[in-house]
Structure 1
């Protein structure tokens, strides 16, 4: 067996047989690799040449489609922006089948189900976003594109396929539109919506990959702790004040700012920090899986991780530059512009 993770983007023909191969980079892949250690091989990217050699000898493949790094997917727009991810997923899953991998686990996110003002709790068998409701850009578009590839593989009898769709991720260096929401001087809320908060630690998602394989769980599985925090509980724990905007103001301005490159993530992804997308985790809970950290504990991890950082409009700025932004800009820091504050005051 391997002594520990071996990172490679090339052929690993000389590597010994292992129980699992983890394919991916970033904090989510790192946590998954740690959960499977020591019998694991880590491959940053399945090579285009001899992809089977990267997976040969493994019983389990964990394809980490969610990088946990906002910078990886923020600039991807439309189908062309996700073409490389689609091609990578296709060759990875084809190679897994070719070398006889028994069980494939793919880590995406519950964002593929969407967020909306009246979004009910997400269950394992919920449909994915489609048509006009689907987000083509950024993280959501990236994961929907990968899931389309996975769905075709899941129709085959072999290998077994499990798709884990966690709630908002925290911990282990995760950087997302959710974590950056808490780097702003104030928390943005949309008028008339009380957004509940469910946070899951990346180590619990990693543990769920092993649990699903060990219990033989297949199909889509949402991942998240049982507790859900109210907006007031989150604001108190964070020690932050909130700023409320009309939805039209928030999303309209975010769209314009994204178009000119001020916001790193698509405006549609703003929905995931102001609207509900709580998961039920039906299948994992029924099988006996219990996350080690609650949403409350995960929030503490998140707050510890962002302490000392400042993000305006999801874009980080140096602390020394914060004073120059002025009180108006700080009041609506999630969207990063004093113009929104003036619009909100006029309304």
Structure 2
């Protein structure tokens, strides 16, 4: 089995990729994305494939290092938001759609630039396959925040009527997509998302949030107060228009996600304080509540008897 270097293994996505590749029998090199090209080449030495799961700013050096070690394949993680969230978007978007990232979101713009640069690099290095994966919003069990790309739509205030289609990808299914890309030696771009989508209201309900539909002017005013600054038009667009994608091409390559949109949200929903208690502690608390209720009942009965005896005296 080939040796694969994963850059950014300390991130939730990178860690999931490392686990999946090792389960599939890959020899994995965990490498930091920082350092000069010379240092990166030393870190990646022996790898036949490179997976870039680190920050977009590190891409140029990573590509140069991949070329320096003679890598046969480079897998880059982009995001579905590079298509942009626009009112005229088809539902769903396919890989042949034009990339129109909304202005004002640096992270998404950087991902789009990675894709542009990778096409140039691939033309100069025909001996290396370049795979671009465009996942929808990725959810991670135990994460502190929702994915930034859809934060305002689900964790906060969404499109207003709750009908906007949204998608969520479990991090383990993204790792599975990376494995398929490597094992099948895929070249080109692939969308990564569960089949279909759910609407905004259902997503918020599944995630444990409240469903609040507000008129657009009110929603914008609340956002300004909440964020303490002028609303970012790019984020506002991502939370207002559909940017769901079809992953038929990746499925044809053999990718089969374990989680659908609903299951991904349920699997990553934080447990309540009661659910986090051990069975023993739950039983103790339940007995304490029952015992407390019994004591209150006895006290109430005694007080009642005393009052009746005073009235008859």
Aligned partners of 1:192, 1:242: CA distance in 2, in Å?
A: 10
**Contact 1:182–1:303 (CA<8 Å) still a contact in 2?**
no
Quick check: which has more Rg, 1 or 2? 2
> Match of 1:56?
45
**Per the alignment, in what secondary structure is the counterpart of residue 304 of structure 1?**
coil
1:202 aligns with 2:171: yes
State the TM-score, normalized to the length of structure 1.
0.67
Pair 178,298 (structure 1): closer, same or farther in 2 beyond 3 Å: farther
**Per the alignment, in what secondary structure is the counterpart of residue 34 of structure 1?**
helix
**Contact 1:200–1:294 (CA<8 Å) still a contact in 2?**
yes
User: Gaps (5+ residues) in structure 2?
Assistant: 274-313
Q: CA deviation at 1:118?
A: 4.1
User: Gaps (5+ residues) in structure 1?
Assistant: 2-17, 68-84, 309-347
Pair 94,238 (structure 1): closer, same or farther in 2 beyond 3 Å: closer
Aligned pairs for 1:155-304 within 5 A: 155-156=123-124, 157-174=126-143, 175=145, 176-177=147-148, 180-181=151-152, 184=155, 188-191=157-160, 194-247=163-216, 250=219, 254=223, 260=229, 266-304=232-270
Of stretches 293-302 and 35-44 in structure 1, the one that deviates more from structure 2 is 35-44
**Per the alignment, in what secondary structure is the counterpart of residue 21 of structure 1?**
strand
Q: CA deviation at 1:243?
A: 2.5
RMSD: 3.0
Aligned residues: 264
Q: CA deviation at 1:236?
A: 4.0
Match of 2:120 among 152, 155, 162: 152
1:126 aligns with 2:92: no
Aligned partners of 1:42, 1:229: CA distance in 2, in Å?
A: 36
Q: Deviations over 1:248-286 (max 9, x none)?
A: 6545775797684x98xx442233333211110121112
Aligned partners of 2:170, 2:82: CA distance in 1, in Å?
A: 19
Pair 240,161 (structure 1): closer, same or farther in 2 beyond 3 Å: same
State the TM-score, normalized to the length of structure 2.
0.73
Pair 280,30 (structure 1): closer, same or farther in 2 beyond 3 Å: same
> Match of 2:71?
101
**Contact 2:169–2:260 (CA<8 Å) still a contact in 1?**
yes
**Contact 1:179–1:302 (CA<8 Å) still a contact in 2?**
no
Pair 247,147 (structure 1): closer, same or farther in 2 beyond 3 Å: farther
Aligned partners of 2:7, 2:66: CA distance in 1, in Å?
A: 11
**Per the alignment, in what secondary structure is the counterpart of residue 190 of structure 1?**
coil
Aligned pairs for 1:28-39 within 5 A: 28-37=13-22, 39=27
> Match of 1:137?
105
**Contact 1:162–1:218 (CA<8 Å) still a contact in 2?**
yes
Pair 285,173 (structure 1): closer, same or farther in 2 beyond 3 Å: same
Aligned partners of 2:140, 2:11: CA distance in 1, in Å?
A: 12
Of stretches 33-42 and 160-169 in structure 1, the one that deviates more from structure 2 is 33-42
